[in-house]
Amino acid sequence: DTGVSQDPRHKITKRGQNVTFRCDPISEHNRLYWYRQTLGQGPEFLTYFQNEAQLEKSRLLSDRFSAERPKGSFSTLEIQRTEQGDSAMYLCASSSGHSNSPLHFGNGTRLTVT
Amino acid sequence: KNEVEQSPQNLTAQEGEFITINCSYSVGISALHWLQQHPGGGIVSLFMLSSGKKKHGRLIATINIQEKHSSLHITASHPRDSAVYICAVSGSGTYKYIFGTGTRLKVLA
């Protein structure tokens, strides 16, 4: 068990470019979450998956954001036509789905849009 | 008003002090997490509670479901406890977690 891993750790991109982040959850975890965190704030919910099904998506997520978990294992989060306001830490977390299972977080992908 | 409120926002303590961080929430919940975040971003789950009290080492977490309130206590605080402590709740009927803005703790030697 290597924990939740996210790639890349850091991404710097120019406004208008597309970016894609990857999250590999703990292997037996069927729930996967994406959160966004800006400086001094707690994480904000973006979306979550149970296996390959995207069960909930935040109204914060504009049409420029899309997430997939095609085989119920790793997940990708894509941001199209990035804006400076998208600069944040993007966090992935997973859990096993049992009623008392804790969340396990990755170290996040820090996005800077210039 | 946020659905999850933490107090205080910032806390500075001397090594050895007993520390309490509070979390109040306004929604029905199925579970509450206390999380620790160190500079650099990594978040670690400390406790998951749905009732009562849990203890792990010098950390104690309590929850009062009727009052919609939870506390995280640190006994004999140490500089390595310096971090941001975040409360997160999972609402009833959803597995989505709502996070507080965190309490930034600094423990001085």
Q: What is the per-residue pLDDT across B63-79, written as a single tens digit (0 to 9) for each?
A: 999 999 999 999 999 99
Q: What percent of chain B has pLDDT over 70?
A: 98
Nearest to B97 by CA among A63, A33, A83: A33
pLDDT digits (tens, 9 = 90+) for A3-35: 999 999 999 999 999 999 999 999 989 999 999
pLDDT for A2 equals 73
User: What does A15-84 look like in DSSP terms, one character per residue?
Assistant: TT--EEEEEE--TT--EEEEEEE-TTS--EEEEEEETTEEEEE-TT--TTEEEE-TTSS-EEEEE-S--G
pLDDT for A99 equals 62
Test A45 with B97 for CB contact under 8 angstroms. Answer: yes
pLDDT for B68 equals 95
Displacement of CA A90 from its chain's centroid (Å): 5
pLDDT for B41 equals 66
Which 3 state secondary structure label does DSSP give A4? coil
Q: Could you tell me which residues of chain A have a Cβ less than 8 Å from any Cβ in chain B? A: 31, 33, 35, 37, 40-45, 48, 50, 55-56, 89, 91, 93, 95, 97, 99-105, 107-108, 110
If phi > 0 it is left, if psi is from -120 to 50 it is alpha, else beta; for residue A78 that is beta
Does residue A1 carry a pLDDT above 60?
no
Element (H, E) at A94: strand A88-95
pLDDT for B80 equals 94
Q: Any chain A CB within 8 A of the CB of B13?
A: no
Q: Using CB atoms, which residue from A35, A97, A107 is nearest to B42?
A: A107
Q: Using CB atoms, which residue from B31, B50, B98 is nearest to A45?
A: B98
pLDDT for A100 equals 65
Tell me which of B24 and A101 has the higher pLDDT: B24
pLDDT digits (tens, 9 = 90+) for A61-99: 788 999 999 988 999 999 999 999 999 999 999 998 776
pLDDT for B53 equals 95
Residue of B25, B86, B95 to mutate, interface with A, max A Cβ within 10 Å: B95
Distance CA A101, CA A112 (A): 33
Test A42 with B100 for CB contact under 8 angstroms. Answer: yes
Distance CA B34, CA B47 (A): 5
Tell me which of B65 and A1 has the higher pLDDT: B65
Tokens representing A24 are 């590999």
